[in-house]
Chains A and B, each alone.
Chain A
Amino acid sequence: MELKKIMFYPGCTLKGVAKNLEDSTVESARVLGYDFVELPNWTCCGAVYGLAQDSVKFTIANVRNLIRAKEYAEEIGDNRLVAVCSMCYNNLRRAHIDVMKNRDRLKTLNIFMDEEPDYNGEIEVLHYLQFLKDVVGLSNVKKCVKKPLKGLKVAPYYGCLLLRPKEVAIDDMEDPHILEDLLKALGAEVVDYPLKNECCGSYHTVDKREFVAERTYKLVSVAKEVGADVIATSCPLCFFNLDRRQEIAKDKHHEFEYMPIVYFTQLMAIAFGIVSEEVLHFDRHFVSPEGVLSKWL
């Protein structure tokens, strides 16, 4: 079967520490019949600077990425750009909405980048979860499942970037269920995880490790309390904080029990029968998920 080409924006983290997210995304998409082609010449999404709302300058990087996508879209004949890193998705989509809403800002940007073709809102930015739900369809995802994750209790964790601000939210801000729906399609048992949209501590992990460790302690303990075996996320920063900061959490709270953190794409790959370490990269996890997932590996 020939794979359908779709533009994919990996972002910097996926090329480094989050190789497990990139590989499991691309491989799972392949099973579903899609060839996620890396956007040529992509640049940084601006990461946290993109959150500064008042400056046209910080939108430049993303609009430039959208222009790259616009050029490439003509080549492959599809204007959809998929991101899986929550922050990349958030920044790209917000930049798109921002310039669509503020035409004078767009004009300024287009004039500033006079060496580039103009951007006029041609690109549709999608998060991989939206792509799975709206383009692939969860029933088709279900059809590709070879090893249903039956009995695996998963806490879905959205963090903030998939849900806020409201205009880029991929689901209801207060009570999302898109990730739950996917996990259910994979056969997993989804626990009602009340803290699914709470903050992970974000970049405070750099300057206030203890603070983030406290967040991690809270988020992981409650997941345990509601019966989860594993927490699934789509954000490399959430992943890092929830995974790596468990070490300090354990130092501070002796009763604390480690819990593995995984990307939802890793669970998808496993359910699709992909168990290769070259895709899953479990060596990159501080708390190894191998024990919990051994039944399916």
Chain B
Amino acid sequence: MAMKRIGVFICHCGRNIAGTVDVKRVAEEIGKREDVALSTTYIFMCSEPGQKLIEESIKKYNLDGVVVANCSPTLHEKTMRNAAARGGLNPYRVEIANIREWAAWPHEDNPEAATRKAIRIINATIEKLKANASLEPIEVPVIRRALVIGGGVSGIQAALDIADAGIETILVEREPSIGGNMFRLSETFPTLDCPQCILTPKMNDVAQHPNIKLYTYSEVVDVSGYMGNFKVKIKKKKTFVDWDKCTGCGECLRVCPITVKSEYDLGMGNRKAIYIVNEQAVPLKALIDEETCIRLKFEKKVREGKIKPKKNITICSKCADVCEPDAIHFKDNEEIVEEEVGAIIVATGYEIMPAEAFPELGGKYPDVITALQFERLLAPSGPTAGIPRRPSDGKVPKKIAFLHCVGSRDPEHGVPYCSRICCMYLIKQAMLYKHALPDGEAYNFYIDIRSNGKGYEEFYVRAKEEYGVNFIRGKVSKVYKVGDKYRVQGVDTLTGRIVEVDVDMVVLATAATGSSGVKELAKILRIPYDEWGWLKETHLKLRPLETPVAGVFIAGSSQFIKDITDSVSQASGAAAKAMAMLSQPKLEKEPILAKVDTEICAGCGRCKDQCAYGAISIDPVRHVAVVNEALCEGCGACSANCPTTAIQVVNFKKGQIIRAVDILAEVF
């Protein structure tokens, strides 16, 4: 039954709407409609008295439908629907007419046009509303388990928080050890804690927690299902070692004849073909890198028929020979495991651009390295035992230049945004360098110092005053090699002079981007991301931990580059969100779903082919499309492709939309 007693509530939004749109006139115009029983305005519809107004008006005027003309439905649709429900009206009989973003804001310079447009938007919304059905939310069960993707400090924190609440948590990390980028750091600003002191205890907690199931050297390869009921496929990559037997003693490392650059040390140090990431790795297990192990390379060539050995020979088995628990088997042990979870937290972190991307700043020279590489040289457990040495010749650098904003705030060479953490870590690195070598000279070239955190500015002042780090305000245009030195050519914008310093080493604070592979993962999870690989939140200000896919949350630097303090806070926040969801006995799902009119449906299957969620099947007996309500997201792709309009999304039926469009498209 079409509605006949509609209430229209027009919001002033302070001056946001009323400053441009003549809300009184809009209310009068709309009030002339026969199907409108009440048309009124209020200064803030989202406020407590505003919501009360809706509640009471429904009762007083016996309203059978409500249109609230205010801001975008992404902000307050839910608020208004709840208010209507309190007033005794089915919440799906409430529609939002967005007159702020669509009328007031874009036509600030033309109040008359904005007012007429607002009237038209409300009229269109009323037409759409009139055919709305009363709906009840759908209930779905919840699997009380969580998945955390990414084992950096954010993922670790999120997993521990959820597990501590008594919920079983699966933590997946693609590297052989958890710890992430923080595990590589020398010390952290502004407290100068070392990760060995503050991160490794948390890593061990993860390993020992009865509620945490840890998959390292593993990747999420497929996710299906919906909030509360996800099915996840995890690929455990081949290690060629039986981790159940491996004790992490490290005997194999000592005998392996092959040495290559270590990924953990970012090329600053070496590892063997069979390796353990480092001594604090969690789990402390050895694995073989098939790209460099001579035995595995040989066996692969034999398999591919590139080499045909005359007899059955074994190339090298030194590691297996010394392995007491007999864990090394050289066999491909790749495996896919399946897990079921109710909520997913993505904490995939960041990476920084390579130095090679900046040849003009010397990135092509061995002694011009990224700040993350320099962290390894400053780390007491690193390849140079904490005394920085030049990668080219091992000499201790007497002078170092630290370049801020390399590729950050620079769309021509890198990214348009500020990478947030570089100012602070370069100040810290200069400080640690001066601490290790008090005679050394540190030059920090910066655009401006962004030290906006607790204790950060004080830390910066300390670097200047106590440690005598030279801060030069200005960008560097070029770094080039002259003899044994690197000449840094920049400008001091405070004195207005060109500055040239000959240094022994240059550290580049290259721009941060989302971690590699995150876009593929985002596609698997169907969550949005931007061109730099940062995952997109539902609302930057108010829903920074949620994604448009219900049940999938984001934490730490996967959303945008963050320091440790912010990452950990956000991780706990995402954990709280996931726990809130998992602690419900049942979850409510929006009933805005596709419905099939079986009288019309011919079972052609075009809707099935279009469905991105696998929610549609064709009933083999009745030969009609059937929608799985739990899987359907109500996107409408099926409806747009149905040749007979047999499948339609409730409350978004063709007639409703076309009537609204007709009104919007009328010529003024």
Q: Which residue of B lies closest to A197 (CB)?
A: B360
Q: Is A174 among interface residues, defined by CB-CB distance under 8 A?
A: yes
Q: In the complex, which residues of chain A have a beta carbon less than 8 angstroms from the beta carbon of B358?
A: 174
A222 to B413, alpha carbons, bound, how many Å? 25
Q: Is there an interface contact between A175 and B359, defined as CB atoms closer than 8 Å?
A: yes
A192 to B482, alpha carbons, bound, how many Å? 10
Q: Is A104 among interface residues, defined by CB-CB distance under 8 A?
A: no
Q: Is there an interface contact between B359 and A226, defined as CB atoms closer than 8 Å?
A: no
Interface size on B, residues (CB 8 A): 12
Q: Is A207 among interface residues, defined by CB-CB distance under 8 A?
A: no
A225 to B500, alpha carbons, bound, how many Å? 15
Q: Is A178 among interface residues, defined by CB-CB distance under 8 A?
A: no
A166 to B411, alpha carbons, bound, how many Å? 13
Most-contacted residue by chain B among A192, A194, A198, A226 (CB, 10 A)? A194
Q: Is B78 among interface residues, defined by CB-CB distance under 8 A?
A: no
Pick the contact of A195 from B359, B412, B478, B483 — CB < 8 Å? B478
In the complex, chain A residues 111-132 whose Cβ is within 8 Å of any chain B Cβ? none
Q: Is there an interface contact between A225 and B482, defined as CB atoms closer than 8 Å?
A: yes
Given A175-B359, A175-B360, are A222 and B478 neighbors across the interface (CB < 8 Å)? no
> A175-188, CB under 8 A of B: which get 1 and which 0?
10000000000000
Shortest CB-to-CB span from B477 to chain A, Å, is 8
Q: In the complex, which residues of chain B have a beta carbon less than 8 angstroms from the beta carbon of A195?
A: 478, 480
A226 to B481, alpha carbons, bound, how many Å? 9
Q: In the complex, which residues of chain A have a beta carbon less than 8 angstroms from the beta carbon of B483?
A: 225
Q: Which residue of A lies closest to B361 (CB)?
A: A174
> A204-228, CB under 8 A of B: which get 1 and which 0?
0000000000000000001001100
In the complex, chain A residues 224-250 whose Cβ is within 8 Å of any chain B Cβ? 225-226
In the complex, chain B residues 388-430 whose Cβ is within 8 Å of any chain A Cβ? 412-413
A174 to B477, alpha carbons, bound, how many Å? 10
Q: In the complex, which residues of chain B have a beta carbon less than 8 angstroms from the beta carbon of A222?
A: 480, 482
Pick the contact of A192 from B360, B412, B481, B487 — CB < 8 Å? B481
Shortest CB-to-CB span from A156 to chain B, Å, is 14
Q: Which residue of A lies closest to B477 (CB)?
A: A198
Q: In the complex, which residues of chain B have a beta carbon less than 8 angstroms from the beta carbon of A226?
A: 482
A220 to B281, alpha carbons, bound, how many Å? 53
A226 to B486, alpha carbons, bound, how many Å? 12
Shortest CB-to-CB span from A213 to chain B, Å, is 15
Q: Is there an interface contact between B360 and A174, defined as CB atoms closer than 8 Å?
A: yes
A175 to B359, alpha carbons, bound, how many Å? 7
Q: In the complex, which residues of chain B have a beta carbon less than 8 angstroms from the beta carbon of A194?
A: 478, 480-481, 487
Shortest CB-to-CB span from A103 to chain B, Å, is 26
A166 to B412, alpha carbons, bound, how many Å? 10
Q: Which residue of B lies closest to A175 (CB)?
A: B359
Q: In the complex, which residues of chain A have a beta carbon less than 8 angstroms from the beta carbon of B360?
A: 174-175
Q: In the complex, which residues of chain A have a beta carbon less than 8 angstroms from the beta carbon of B487?
A: 194
A195 to B479, alpha carbons, bound, how many Å? 10
Interface size on A, residues (CB 8 A): 10
A27 to B522, alpha carbons, bound, how many Å? 60
Shortest CB-to-CB span from A7 to chain B, Å, is 33
Q: In the complex, which residues of chain B have a beta carbon less than 8 angstroms from the beta carbon of A198?
A: 478
In the complex, chain B residues 248-279 whose Cβ is within 8 Å of any chain A Cβ? none
Shortest CB-to-CB span from B228 to chain A, Å, is 51
Most-contacted residue by chain A among B412, B480, B483 (CB, 10 A)? B480
Q: Which residue of B lies closest to A198 (CB)?
A: B478
Q: In the complex, which residues of chain A have a beta carbon less than 8 angstroms from the beta carbon of B359?
A: 174-175
In the complex, chain B residues 466-497 whose Cβ is within 8 Å of any chain A Cβ? 478, 480-483, 487
Shortest CB-to-CB span from A192 to chain B, Å, is 7
A198 to B480, alpha carbons, bound, how many Å? 12
Shortest CB-to-CB span from A222 to chain B, Å, is 7
A194 to B482, alpha carbons, bound, how many Å? 9
Q: Which residue of B lies closest to A192 (CB)?
A: B481
Shortest CB-to-CB span from A93 to chain B, Å, is 20
Shortest CB-to-CB span from A181 to chain B, Å, is 16
Shortest CB-to-CB span from B365 to chain A, Å, is 10
A192 to B364, alpha carbons, bound, how many Å? 12
A197 to B303, alpha carbons, bound, how many Å? 51
Q: In the complex, which residues of chain B have a beta carbon less than 8 angstroms from the beta carbon of A192?
A: 480-481
Q: In the complex, which residues of chain A have a beta carbon less than 8 angstroms from the beta carbon of B364?
A: 175
A289 to B358, alpha carbons, bound, how many Å? 35
A222 to B479, alpha carbons, bound, how many Å? 13
A225 to B502, alpha carbons, bound, how many Å? 13
Q: In the complex, which residues of chain A have a beta carbon less than 8 angstroms from the beta carbon of B482?
A: 222, 225-226
A166 to B481, alpha carbons, bound, how many Å? 26
Q: Which residue of A lies closest to B478 (CB)?
A: A194
A225 to B276, alpha carbons, bound, how many Å? 46
A230 to B359, alpha carbons, bound, how many Å? 24
In the complex, chain B residues 336-373 whose Cβ is within 8 Å of any chain A Cβ? 358-360, 364
In the complex, chain A residues 155-194 whose Cβ is within 8 Å of any chain B Cβ? 166, 174-175, 192, 194
Q: In the complex, which residues of chain A have a beta carbon less than 8 angstroms from the beta carbon of B481?
A: 192, 194
Q: Which residue of B lies closest to A225 (CB)?
A: B482
A175 to B356, alpha carbons, bound, how many Å? 11
Shortest CB-to-CB span from B414 to chain A, Å, is 12
A194 to B483, alpha carbons, bound, how many Å? 12
A195 to B480, alpha carbons, bound, how many Å? 8
Shortest CB-to-CB span from B189 to chain A, Å, is 31
A194 to B412, alpha carbons, bound, how many Å? 20
A195 to B487, alpha carbons, bound, how many Å? 11
Q: Which residue of A lies closest to B363 (CB)?
A: A175
A195 to B360, alpha carbons, bound, how many Å? 10
Shortest CB-to-CB span from B485 to chain A, Å, is 11
Q: In the complex, which residues of chain A have a beta carbon less than 8 angstroms from the beta carbon of B478?
A: 194-195, 198
A127 to B564, alpha carbons, bound, how many Å? 52
In the complex, chain B residues 432-489 whose Cβ is within 8 Å of any chain A Cβ? 478, 480-483, 487
Shortest CB-to-CB span from B476 to chain A, Å, is 13
Shortest CB-to-CB span from B182 to chain A, Å, is 32
> A70-92, CB under 8 A of B: which get 1 and which 0?
00000000000000000000000
Q: In the complex, which residues of chain B have a beta carbon less than 8 angstroms from the beta carbon of A225?
A: 482-483
In the complex, chain B residues 487-515 whose Cβ is within 8 Å of any chain A Cβ? 487
Shortest CB-to-CB span from A294 to chain B, Å, is 29
A198 to B482, alpha carbons, bound, how many Å? 16
Q: Which residue of B lies closest to A193 (CB)?
A: B480
Shortest CB-to-CB span from B522 to chain A, Å, is 31
A11 to B359, alpha carbons, bound, how many Å? 34
A137 to B364, alpha carbons, bound, how many Å? 27
Shortest CB-to-CB span from A210 to chain B, Å, is 15
Q: Which residue of B lies closest to A174 (CB)?
A: B360
A166 to B480, alpha carbons, bound, how many Å? 22
Q: In the complex, which residues of chain B have a beta carbon less than 8 angstroms from the beta carbon of A174?
A: 358-360, 413
Q: In the complex, which residues of chain B have a beta carbon less than 8 angstroms from the beta carbon of A166?
A: 412
Shortest CB-to-CB span from A58 to chain B, Å, is 25
Q: Which residue of A lies closest to B479 (CB)?
A: A194
Q: Which residue of A lies closest to B413 (CB)?
A: A174
A225 to B412, alpha carbons, bound, how many Å? 30
Q: Which residue of B lies closest to A166 (CB)?
A: B412
A174 to B359, alpha carbons, bound, how many Å? 7
Shortest CB-to-CB span from B42 to chain A, Å, is 48
Q: In the complex, which residues of chain B have a beta carbon less than 8 angstroms from the beta carbon of A175?
A: 359-360, 364
Shortest CB-to-CB span from A225 to chain B, Å, is 5
A198 to B359, alpha carbons, bound, how many Å? 14
A174 to B412, alpha carbons, bound, how many Å? 11
A211 to B413, alpha carbons, bound, how many Å? 29
13 extra interface residue pairs, beta carbon distance < 8 Å, beyond A166-B412, A192-B480, A198-B478: A174-B359, A174-B413, A175-B364, A192-B481, A194-B478, A194-B487, A195-B478, A195-B480, A222-B480, A222-B482, A225-B482, A225-B483, A226-B482
Q: A residues bordering B, Cβ < 8 Å? A: 166, 174-175, 192, 194-195, 198, 222, 225-226
For this complex, 21 residue pairs linking A to B, each with C-beta atoms less than 8 Å apart, are: A166-B412, A174-B358, A174-B359, A174-B360, A174-B413, A175-B359, A175-B360, A175-B364, A192-B480, A192-B481, A194-B480, A194-B481, A194-B487, A195-B478, A195-B480, A198-B478, A222-B480, A222-B482, A225-B482, A225-B483, A226-B482
Going nearest first, the 7 A-B pairs with the smallest beta carbon separation are: A194-B480, A174-B360, A175-B359, A225-B482, A174-B359, A194-B478, A175-B360
